[in-house]
């Protein structure tokens, strides 16, 4: 039982959503599930902390008052909207912000007549949100994490939970002890791959969907699919089958995978009777992302692995509130609760609740497109809340140029960063320990996080800044909020999937409340009786079947997360600037362990230390993404001509050369 001296916060790191208890007397922390959580108190460290509002004057930042800064920003915004319209303004929300803060950020965007609002999901699971929403009804994980203990088979593809979500990895290990077969498919032999019963190392990054289609072909032709479920609960099976039957076992051999191994995995997973699929950036950060996610969802539908305990889909969230940011409508094509902006009937419910009538029907720009449009002069004002796109977005060089081309750049940030140097205004914001609010983890669990410390200097919570700015702009019908709880109450009344999730309910339930809630009852497992689609049936997603004549006689760059780093803000990995190269490729080029090498792509070039081993297949080079990766990555439109994604994990290396010979590194 926790001490009365301790107060609970939701861990600000990964999307697993651990509760951390902080002793108010001595500042010690306990309850965290991994080493990252143990570093929680470092968030409030004065090192490099932004403590006051700053305004740029030439090349120098000068301290200013809140009133003058917000008044100046409001004045500039009014001018920009009057001359260029609301579509010239953009916002990048924050997965570190609370639900209430993201709700207000997107609300301000819509009040200004802009759908140009996005969050870091664009760089990870935005395509998962879109495919899941269209196919099943909600853009979210279908089952609670605890359901994995009842899975008979767990398929982990393009994802390394041992490094990114240690508490979840422990749960998977427990499931294995209970008899679950663990199957891992990845390009790199990761820490998770070492724990697998079966590991398939795919030789061509981004082409996972072809392997999944081969599995589907085997399952269908062997009569192992769930005919009753497919007939009664889905539509579009025939169209999917027409694609799947083209992928015979020879297609898998082209990916460098043994036919017998693919057949073993297909039969093992299908015959389990109840299985779960987990995936991450190895699936979504490609131009083929839609095909990859669609193939995953279709495989689950084929087997009926949805809506039951132990059967589910897990697009595991990398940051603590990226699920909540999406739920709150910090997306260019969705309002809160995944209401499409072009759904005139449902959109009217929000317009009536907010007493406005100017929410555009056209989807806004994604965060990738925002910077591309800024280069062309189409974005005149940009708010960046708690993100560091200079490091985190693909094509860092382009992002820098875009920021320099925007008239008004406002950055909400805890510490000075690579992005704040391009701001016109830098606004100091509270850390997780210095404010209250609710956060939604990857399994849709909404939890209340308590304020433990008073903010230093002139630091304010993001919601206070946004609320005051809305009033200073003079927006008609903009509401004044007296507390963060006032925003939570509004969310519970206007966002259908959060209906009834009030501050009182969250504070009474220490383990949180899982959405959706209806008539006071909340559902931890989605789609038990029907799907949230017009006909109540799941829809097999369309897969673009495009043959490519590509022999891949060149090196492909891929990325991975280090277990000792968290995004761009926390890293204790001394070998973060390494490039892992297959030892046979390295020998052919003349590269030895520890050599300083230069990797060049069509997007740029950067220096790394070579590490040679067999953890990546021939033809692939892997680098951690946390620091230098986005100097050598850029963006391309997906193969389905849909939303922009970052093909971060399948960039062609145009040149690789030795800069300096070094000793071997550990």
* 383 belongs to a structural domain: yes
Instruction: Indicate the residue among 315, 343, 366 that finishes a domain.
Output: 315
* 530 belongs to a structural domain: no
Predicted pLDDT of residue 571: 66
Same domain, 253 and 357: no
* Cα–Cα distance, 265 to 659 (Å, whole number): 43
In this predicted model, what pLDDT tens digit does every residue of 625-638 receive, in sequence order?
767 777 888 776 55
Predicted pLDDT of residue 310: 96
Question: What does the block give as tokens for 225?
Answer: 């699919």
Same domain, 326 and 455: yes
Domain span at residue 606? 556-660
Check residue 42 and report its DSSP letter: G
Same domain, 205 and 240: yes
Predicted pLDDT of residue 43: 66
What pTM does this model have?
0.93
* Cα–Cα distance, 209 to 284 (Å, whole number): 11
* 541 belongs to a structural domain: no
Specify whether the CB–CB gap between 522 and 528 falls below 8 A.
no
Instruction: Look up the CATH number of the domain holding residue 247.
Output: 3.40.228.10
Same domain, 269 and 371: no
**β-strand 437-440 against 521-522: which pairing, if any?**
unpaired
Question: What does the block give as tokens for 262?
Answer: 């693919």
Cβ-based neighbour number of residue 260 at 10 Å: 9
In this predicted model, what pLDDT tens digit does every residue of 215-270 receive, in sequence order?
999 999 999 999 999 999 999 999 999 999 999 888 878 888 888 999 999 999 99
* 206 belongs to a structural domain: yes
Check residue 553 and report its DSSP letter: -
Same domain, 463 and 607: no
Count Cβ atoms within 10 A of the Cβ of residue 466 and give its class: 0-12 exposed, 13-18 middle, 19 or more buried: buried
Predicted pLDDT of residue 44: 66
Same domain, 488 and 439: yes
Predicted pLDDT of residue 254: 80
Question: What does the block give as tokens for 157?
Answer: 């593809």
Predicted pLDDT of residue 204: 83
* Cα–Cα distance, 369 to 635 (Å, whole number): 10
Instruction: Look up the CATH number of the domain holding residue 587.
Output: 2.40.40.20
* 211 belongs to a structural domain: yes
Same domain, 448 and 327: yes
**Strand ranges (E), 246-401:** 275-279, 312-315, 334-335, 339-340, 381-385
* 42 belongs to a structural domain: no
* Cα–Cα distance, 301 to 467 (Å, whole number): 43
Instruction: Look up the CATH number of the domain holding residue 333.
Output: 3.40.50.740
Predicted pLDDT of residue 547: 57
Same domain, 297 and 327: no
Nearest 5°: phi and psi at 381? Answer: -140, 140
Question: What does the block give as tokens for 554?
Answer: 């060149």
Instruction: Indicate the residue among 315, 330, 348 that finishes a domain.
Output: 315
* 544 belongs to a structural domain: no
Same domain, 205 and 304: yes
Count Cβ atoms within 10 A of the Cβ of residue 345 and give its class: 0-12 exposed, 13-18 middle, 19 or more buried: exposed
Check residue 536 and report its DSSP letter: S
* 371 belongs to a structural domain: yes
* Cα–Cα distance, 523 to 513 (Å, whole number): 9
Number of domains in the chain: 3
Reading phi first (left if > 0) and then psi (alpha if -120 to 50, else beta), residue 457 is in left
Same domain, 381 and 465: yes
Which residues does the chain have with pLDDT short of 50?
1-3, 639-647
Per the omega criterion (within 30 degrees of 0), is the bond before 516 cis? yes
Q: What is the dihedral of CA 603, 604, 607, 608, to 10 degrees?
A: 0
Same domain, 584 and 487: no
Q: What is the CA radius of gyration of the chain?
A: 24
Tokens 């916060």 correspond to 9
Instruction: Indicate the residue among 315, 338, 359 that finishes a domain.
Output: 315
Predicted pLDDT of residue 1: 41
Predicted pLDDT of residue 646: 46
Check residue 340 and report its DSSP letter: E
Specify whether the CB–CB gap between 184 and 267 falls below 8 A.
no
Same domain, 297 and 168: yes
CA dihedral sign of residues 416, 419, 424, 428: negative
- Side-chain-side CA neighbours of 57 within 13 Å: the count stands at 7
């Amino acid at each position: 039982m926790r001490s009365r001296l301790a107060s609970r916060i939701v861990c600000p790191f990964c999307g697993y959503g651990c509760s951390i208890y902080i002793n108010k007397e001595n500042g010690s922390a306990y309850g965290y599930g991994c080493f990252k959580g143990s570093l929680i108190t470092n968030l409030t460290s004065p090192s490099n902390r932004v403590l006051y509002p700053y305004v740029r004057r030439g090349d120098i930042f000068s301290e200013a008052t809140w009133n003058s800064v917000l008044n100046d920003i409001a004045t500039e915004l009014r001018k920009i909207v009057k001359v260029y319209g609301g579509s010239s303004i953009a916002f990048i929300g924050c997965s570190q912000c609370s639900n209430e803060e993201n709700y207000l950020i997107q609300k301000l965007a819509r009040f200004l007549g802009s759908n140009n609002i996005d969050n870091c999901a664009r760089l990870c699971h935005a395509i998962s949100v879109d495919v899941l929403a269209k196919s099943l009804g909600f853009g979210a994980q279908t089952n609670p994490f605890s359901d994995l203990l009842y899975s008979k088979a767990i398929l982990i593809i393009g994802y390394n939970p041992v490094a990114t979500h240690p508490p979840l990895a422990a749960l998977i290990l427990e499931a294995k002890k209970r008899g679950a077969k663990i199957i891992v498919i990845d390009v790199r032999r990761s820490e998770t791959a070492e724990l697998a019963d079966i590991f398939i190392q795919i030789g061509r990054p981004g082409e996972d969907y072809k392997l999944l289609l081969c599995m589907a072909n085997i399952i269908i032709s062997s009569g192992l699919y769930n005919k009753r479920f497919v007939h009664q609960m889905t539509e579009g099976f025939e169209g999917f089958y027409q694609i799947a039957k083209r992928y015979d076992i020879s297609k898998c051999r082209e990916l460098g995978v043994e036919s017998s191994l693919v057949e073993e995995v297909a039969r093992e997973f299908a015959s389990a009777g109840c299985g779960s699929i987990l995936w991450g950036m190895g699936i979504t950060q490609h131009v083929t992302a839609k095909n990859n996610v669609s193939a995953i969802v279709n495989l689950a539908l084929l087997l009926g692995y949805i809506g039951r305990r132990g059967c589910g889909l897990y697009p595991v969230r990398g940051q603590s509130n990226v699920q909540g940011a999406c739920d709150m409508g910090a997306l260019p094509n969705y309002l809160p609760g995944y209401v499409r902006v072009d759904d005139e009937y449902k959109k009217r419910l929000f317009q009536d609740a907010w007493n406005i009538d100017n929410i555009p029907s056209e989807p806004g720009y994604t965060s990738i497109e925002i910077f591309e449009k800024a280069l062309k002069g189409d974005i005149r004002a940009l708010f960046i809340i708690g993100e560091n796109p200079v490091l985190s977005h693909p094509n860092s060089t382009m992002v820098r140029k875009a920021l320099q081309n925007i008239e008004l750049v406002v950055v909400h940030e805890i510490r000075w960063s690579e992005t704040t140097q391009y701001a016109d205004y830098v606004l100091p914001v509270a850390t997780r320990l210095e404010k209250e609010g609710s956060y939604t983890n990857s399994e849709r669990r909404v939890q209340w996080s308590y304020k433990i410390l008073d903010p230093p200097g002139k630091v304010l919570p993001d919601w206070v800044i946004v609320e005051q700015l809305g009033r200073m702009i003079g927006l008609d019908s903009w509401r004044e909020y007296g507390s963060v709880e006032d925003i939570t109450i509004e969310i519970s009344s206007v966002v259908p999937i959060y209906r009834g999730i009030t501050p009182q309910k969250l504070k009474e339930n220490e383990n949180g409340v899982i959405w959706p809630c209806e008539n006071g009852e909340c559902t931890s497992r989605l789609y038990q009786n029907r799907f949230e689609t017009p006909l109540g049936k799941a829809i097999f997603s369309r897969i673009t079947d495009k043959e490519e004549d590509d022999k891949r006689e060149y090196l492909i760059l891929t990325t991975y997360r280090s277990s000792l780093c968290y995004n761009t803000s926390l890293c204790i990995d001394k070998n973060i600037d390494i490039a892992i190269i297959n030892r046979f490729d390295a020998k052919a080029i003349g590269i030895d362990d520890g050599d300083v090498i230069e990797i060049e792509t069509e997007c740029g070039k950067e220096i790394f230390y070579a590490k040679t081993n067999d953890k990546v297949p021939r033809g692939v080079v892997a680098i951690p993404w946390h620091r230098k990766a986005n100097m050598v990555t850029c963006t391309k439109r997906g193969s389905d001509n849909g939303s922009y994604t970052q093909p971060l994990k399948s960039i062609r290396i145009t040149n690789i050369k030795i800069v300096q010979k070094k000793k071997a590194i550990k």
